[in-house]
Amino acid sequence: MERKEFRELTSVEDARELVDSIRVQPEITVLPIEEAAGHIIAEDMLSGLDVPAFNRSVKDGYAVRAKDTYQASEPEPIELKVTGAIPAGCEDSFFVGDGEAIEISTGAPIPDGADAVVMVESTKQTSDSLLIYQPVHINENIMRAGTDIMKGERILRKNTRIGSREIGVLASIGMDKVPVKELVVGIISTGSELIRPGEKLGISKIYDANSYAIGAAIEECGGTPRIYGIVRDDEKLMEEALDIAIAECDIVLTSGSTSAGAGDIMYMIIEEKGETLTHGIAIKPGKPVVIGMVGNVPTIGLPGNPTSALSIFNEFVAPIIYNSLGVKPSFRTKVTAVMGTGIRSGGREELFPVGVVRGKVYPADKTSGAITTLSDADGIIEIRAHTEYIEPGAVVEVTMFGNVRSPDLMLVGGQCPGVDLLEEMTGLTFRTLNMGSSAGFTAISSGTADIACVNMVDSDGNYNSSVLKRMNLDNVVLVKGYRREQGLIFSPDNHIYGLEDVINLQLINRNRGSGTRALLDREIGLLAEGKGLSKTEMIKSLKGYNSGSKTHRSVCDAVKSGKVDVGFGIRAAAEEAGLEFIPLAEDEFDFVIRKDLLQIDEIQNFLAVLRSEEFSKRLPAGISTYEMTGSIISSF
């Protein structure tokens, strides 16, 4: 096969039109009611019976003839004779005559002769007679047969998506089998680098995210996913997998191998077996997308990058599924929101992944295309061609992914188990981006973060306020947090008594911009000074100084696995990992909060928990509150 170059890119509008013209005929299958949720009902559903099927009581009380109660009042109750009792589900027949009453439970059938129910609260029963203190009118507390659903009534319209409410209605008319439309959508993940989740990850391998993400997206549209698993980048294997899927499915999706790279042959296979309708849509992310027809099976090659694959699925595959099933898209809610920061675009049409926090929109695009982009994103905005910049404050429409709950607060900065505890105790949903203190300061100054989590020390041992002063930030406050023991983390096999012992051992450092790394730098400086050495010389003798691990936990993982001898981090992490710990310093972990947010409920809640005694008690070992905890500093 020849290698192909991209031809003209199809415009988004043309691609949408193309997709709208594709329809597949779904099959109709009958599913047990337990499995029907999420599917699309294939026929109008008519009720074969009245619900309820008999007149029944809606209260616990007494079945009576209404006219016998008309004279009843609080001071002058009337007296009736009780002749029996009818529990729910009772099949015996009863009769209520003049001057009589029968005790009746909620849901039990109304006996012949009775035309109302007096609720038990309006009565008093003695040995065999009943006092009634309030009159009832005819039909009071009775649900007539067919009130809920009349026999012959249409209870569900064809093409309705079956949810909990629909299942309830179907069950209440006695349906145990439900005719649904079945549209089988196959998904093949291509890539020699892919490993099935649950299996061991080899060198240069990544887990297959697309089979499952796309599978779930198919289900959200009402389709039936069929996951074929991973196929290596081998033309023959891909061809075989595609043949099987095309024979078994109504629509076939592949992921990966769509760009015109050397090993990327998906589209050539589609071309050879059927017809390519488009290869390459003028949109980002996910330009490399193939839409083709093999026989009468739409075959679509999604890009490998998980964010792109999902965006392209939502944009160009979901409509085919919806149109074929005859349903309206329902799960993609659009919300109007305001740009929290500006977004720069390449001047071409883009589907830009964004996070939405309290109505503010933030870019979630790390362009690298890592899966974290996807987990940090709540939806996408559509950027039109020729738009190069969307300003902060601009109103945009966000198409949400599935039914995501967007977070309450955006926290950027250092990682700490204390923050996890704050999230748990406030009951709020945090979006925490663990990018280190420096990134926290940047994010708070640009308005991306609501709270920056910081532990940045300066050469005088002052925490955080000197950075704020240097950055000249006046629209924020510094909320003092808590103190954390920081020190050396190592396995019990090593004998380490201080920083001096680390020389010649293999060290794992934290990422640049992390406050913990800055603290280690300070400690190294102090040690060097004591020895009459320069700090640079000292650093040179530390093996692994240039490494950069992103969290305390990952430092512990590296120590635990034996890859390195020693790390630097908080006691809480060392203890959780069962490692040895020697304290070297205590840091101050603080929160920088935007002034204009101080009064909102979420921040008030955050501050209240931070200042609470319970929070202080529940902090893990090595983290403690002190007299400054929760105090607000507003000038630096």
Contact 13, 349 (CB under 8 A): no
Residue 189 binds ligand AMP, judged by CB under 6 A: yes
Which residue, 259 or 448, is less far from ligand AMP as judged by CB?
Answer: 259
Placement of tokens 């109302």 in the chain = 116
Rounded to the nearest 10 degrees, how much is the dihedral formed by the CA atoms of 385, 390, 394, 396? 40
DSSP string, 457-514: B-TTS-BSHHHHHHHT--SEEEEEEEEEEEEEEE-TTS---SGGGGTTSBEEPBPTT-
Task: State which of residues 50, 115, 208, 523 lies at the interface with ligand AMP (CB under 6 A).
Answer: 208
210-249 footprint of ligand AMP as x/- string (CB under 6 A): x---------------------------------------
Interacting positions 34-93 with ligand AMP (CB under 6 A):
none
Q: Closest distance between ligand AMP and the C-beta of residue 306, in Å?
A: 5
Angle at 456 between CA 454 and CA 458, to 5 degrees: 155
Q: Which does 355 bind (CB under 5 to 8 A by kind): Mg ion, ligand AMP, none?
A: none
- For helices 601-610 and 417-426, what crossing angle results, to 10°? 120
3 or 23: CB nearest ligand AMP: 3
Count of positions on this chain that bind ligand AMP (CB under 6 A): 17
Which residue of 304, 340, 417, 622 would you call a contact of ligand AMP, by CB under 6 A? 304
Q: Is 213 or 454 the residue whose CB approaches ligand AMP more closely?
A: 213
Q: Does 507 bind ligand AMP (CB under 6 A)?
A: no
Residue 37 vs 206, nearer CB to ligand AMP: 206
Task: Return the structure tokens found at 369.
Answer: 């295309």
Give the three-class secondary structure for 238: helix
The CA radius of gyration of the chain, in Å to the nearest whole number, is 34
Minimum distance, C-beta of residue 194 to Mg ion, in the bound complex (Å): 8
Minimum distance of ligand AMP from residue 206's CB (angstroms): 5
Q: Which residue of 257, 345, 406, 464 would you call a contact of ligand AMP, by CB under 6 A?
A: 257
Q: Is 307 in the site for ligand AMP (CB under 6 A)?
A: no
| Cβ–Cβ < 8 Å for 626, 618 | no
Which CB atom, from 238 or from 476, has the smaller least distance to ligand AMP?
238
Distance (Å, whole) CA 63 – CA 410: 60
The nearer residue to Mg ion, 256 or 417, going by C-beta atoms, is 256
Q: How far apart are the first and last CA of the chain?
A: 67
Closest residue (Cβ) to ligand AMP? 304
Q: What is the contact surface with Mg ion in residues (CB under 5 A)?
A: 191, 256-257, 304
Least distance from Mg ion to the Cβ atom of residue 191, Å: 4
Q: Which part of the chain contacts ligand AMP (CB under 6 A), choosing from 145-153, 207-215, 325-333, 623-631? A: 207-215
- When CB distances are held under 5 to 8 angstroms depending on the partner's kind, the choice from Mg ion, ligand AMP, none that residue 357 binds is none
CA angle, 466 as apex, 464 and 472 as ends, to 5°? 110
How far apart are CB 201 and ligand AMP at their closest, in Å?
A: 12
Element (H, E) at 566: strand 566-570
Taking CB under 6 A as the rule, does residue 515 contact ligand AMP?
no
- Min dist CB 262 to Mg ion, Å, is 11
Min dist. Cβ of residue 497 to Mg ion (A): 50
CB atoms closer than 10 angstroms to residue 387: 16
Q: How many CB atoms are located within 10 Å of the residue 231 CB?
A: 23
Is residue 255 near ligand AMP by the rule CB under 6 A?
Answer: yes
The correct pick among 58, 120, 206, 526 for binding ligand AMP (CB under 6 A) is 206
Q: Which residues pair with 623 in a beta bridge?
A: 484
Residue among 254, 258, 278, 324 that touches ligand AMP (CB under 6 A): 258
Which residues have CB under 8 Å from 581's CB, separation 6+?
A: 485, 487, 488, 489, 571, 574, 575, 622
| Chain centroid, CA 106 distance in Å | 41
* 209 in contact with ligand AMP (CB under 6 A): yes
Q: Is 373 in the site for ligand AMP (CB under 6 A)?
A: no
**Secondary element (H or E) of residue 271:** helix 266-273
- Strand 40-41 versus strand 45-46 pairing type: unpaired
* Cα gap 291→455, rounded to integer Å: 50
What backbone phi and psi angles, to 5 degrees, belong to 94? -130, 160
Residue 336 pairs in a beta bridge with 397
210 binds, among Mg ion, ligand AMP, none (CB under 5 to 8 A by kind): ligand AMP
Among 77, 223, 292, 306, binds ligand AMP (CB under 6 A): 306
Residues that bind ligand AMP (CB under 6 A): 189, 191, 193-194, 206, 208-210, 255-259, 303-306
